[in-house]
Amino acid sequence: MNNSISVVIPTKNEEKNILNLLVKLPSNYKKIIVDDGTDRTARFAKEFGARVIQGKGKGLGQAILDGINSADTDIICVMDADLSHNPSSVPTLVRMISEEGYDLAIGSRYVPGGKTVGWELSRRIISRCACLLALPITNVKDATSGFFAFRKSLIKDIKLEASSWKIMLEVLLKSKPTRVIEVPIEFVVRKEGKSKFNRKQMIAYLEHLMKLAFWKYQKFIKFCIVGGIGAIETFGITWLLTEKIGLWYIFSMIFAVAFATFSNFAMNTLWTFKLQLNPKEADYEWKSFYTGSFIQKWWKQSIAKTIWSLMPNTSSLLDIGCGSSPIITRYYGEEIYGIDQNKEKLDFMKGKCPRHNFSDRDIDSFEKKFDHIICIEVLEHLQNPEETIKEISKAIRNGGQVIIATPDYSKWLWKIAEYFTPYKEEHIFQFTKDSLEKMCKKNGLEPVRHKYIAGCDLCEEFIKCN
């Protein structure tokens, strides 16, 4: 733990609590106080050594956002100043980000081990109802938590509006974090000062929730609008061609449906689904797995589940061409390695999986032999894939397991699927099951079993022969 951690604390007349809070936080964390009050909170915080920012008087959400924007560290923790959030829980939330590789860690009252202390029944009911109202847009149990930690890089490309004090919910939805954890906390009622919770904040939360719901389901809403326009086009063109031009209604309908279909496709492409994942980005495989389109997620997750079923456990693994695929996250041990020539993807994975080893080393640079090797969607991109198979054979111990995944060009289904893959132009070598097995047998890898994804993407297990 060091000065790469910032704790953002919005305050409003918290002079009775601020010093008691600051002294309990780790001394090597940066403390950022965003003060909207009129008492001595800011003065006490400055004397303690905290950085103080004058609030803009636009509410708690904006104060938090101002603090986040001013932080010069990547890892940020946000908490209340009234000691309802236990300062001893801050290092735990931070550790989930810095060591465990989570994108967002939420201090939660409503997971096993979490609880509230001292609340009246009415406040408990309001809190529970607020979380229930958020269920249509998130499955987080404590959606109204104001105690959370995350990487600032998570929100670098998104715009936060901070319409209410529940900015965590906005970060959760708009940044689309792939790994989120709820850490149990004990929430206690403030002992000093006056609570800021009121009817105005409740209304602001409801308005914020409606905005976020619209944001989350905007593609579905746009899709419905396009569908409605298509229906109007179909009936309108049919009527026009039939009643005004005198064309037989069957021909009119065929022409109208064809026109509306093309129109819908164009509008959905240009408007509804305009934003697409960029395969050149470092996080492409990761986002495809977790937050891509339905087909992207299904395809990536199907490959991963197949690999995991063929190789449930290992502590000695080499993932060749790992990219930013989360497949490697299933395995733990000191000898878990991912190698790739794309350094940006490796840097991304180092942040996501700090316990694993990632490098741009060549296969033959490893002195040790591995128990397991996986090579997923790599060989088809190589000019001479047999050289890589030879290196794999040298790097795997006798009796070790190798899993290779590659498109099977003998399957007619791949001819269809290939049209939609972003890497189709990069497929140099076109494997079939027979050609892959022949090449592997030649280099001491004996086929054991295989599975197909969508009937065309081959995933095959090999064993290194003595």
**Is 158 in the same domain as 244?**
no
**Is 228 in the same domain as 327?**
no
Contact between 272 and 230 (Cβ < 8 Å): no
Is position 100 within any domain?
Answer: yes
Is position 278 within any domain?
Answer: no
Beta strands in 185-228 (DSSP E): 186-188
Name the residue type at position 136: P
CATH number at residue 298: 3.40.50.150
Is position 279 within any domain?
Answer: no
Token digits for 183? 């850490």
Pick from 168, 192, 216: which residue ends a domain? 216
- The whole-number pLDDT of residue 1 equals 42
**Is 246 in the same domain as 296?**
no
**Is 240 in the same domain as 187?**
no
Is position 31 within any domain?
Answer: yes
Instruction: Return d(Cα 162, Cα 282) in angstroms, integer.
Output: 29
- Please list the pLDDT of the chain residue by residue as tens digits (466 residues): 445 899 999 999 999 999 999 999 999 999 999 999 889 999 999 999 999 999 887 778 889 999 999 999 999 999 999 999 999 999 999 999 998 989 999 999 999 999 999 888 988 998 999 899 988 889 899 999 999 999 998 888 788 877 666 789 999 988 888 899 999 999 998 877 677 666 777 888 888 888 888 888 888 888 899 999 999 999 999 999 999 899 998 999 999 999 999 888 878 766 776 555 677 788 889 988 988 777 788 899 999 999 999 999 999 999 999 999 999 999 988 899 999 999 999 999 998 888 899 999 999 999 889 999 999 999 999 989 999 999 999 999 999 999 999 999 999 888 777 776 766 667 888 999 999 999 999 999 999 999 999 899 999 999 998 6
**Is 299 in the same domain as 156?**
no
**Is 325 in the same domain as 197?**
no
Is position 143 within any domain?
Answer: yes
**Is 111 in the same domain as 178?**
yes
Is position 330 within any domain?
Answer: yes
Is position 277 within any domain?
Answer: no
Residue 455: give the domain boundaries.
284-464
**Is 425 in the same domain as 289?**
yes
The reported pTM is 0.63
**Is 400 in the same domain as 358?**
yes
Q: Which letter, b or e, does each residue of 247-256 get, where b requires 16 or more Cβ atoms within 10 Å of its Cβ?
A: beeeebbeeb
Q: Which neighbouring-strand residues pair with 75?
A: 5, 151
β pairing state of 115-117 and 51-54: unpaired
**Is 337 in the same domain as 427?**
yes
**Is 252 in the same domain as 369?**
no
Is position 25 within any domain?
Answer: yes
Residue holding tokens 């694993």?
356
- The whole-number pLDDT of residue 425 equals 64
CB atoms within 10 A of CB 339: 19
**Is 417 in the same domain as 349?**
yes
Instruction: Return d(Cα 367, Cα 373) in angstroms, integer.
Output: 15
Q: What's the structural domain count of the chain?
A: 3
- The whole-number pLDDT of residue 276 equals 59
SS3 of 277-302: the string is CCCCCCCHHHHHHHHCCHHHHHHHHH
- The whole-number pLDDT of residue 345 equals 94
- The whole-number pLDDT of residue 208 equals 82
Contact between 89 and 122 (Cβ < 8 Å): no
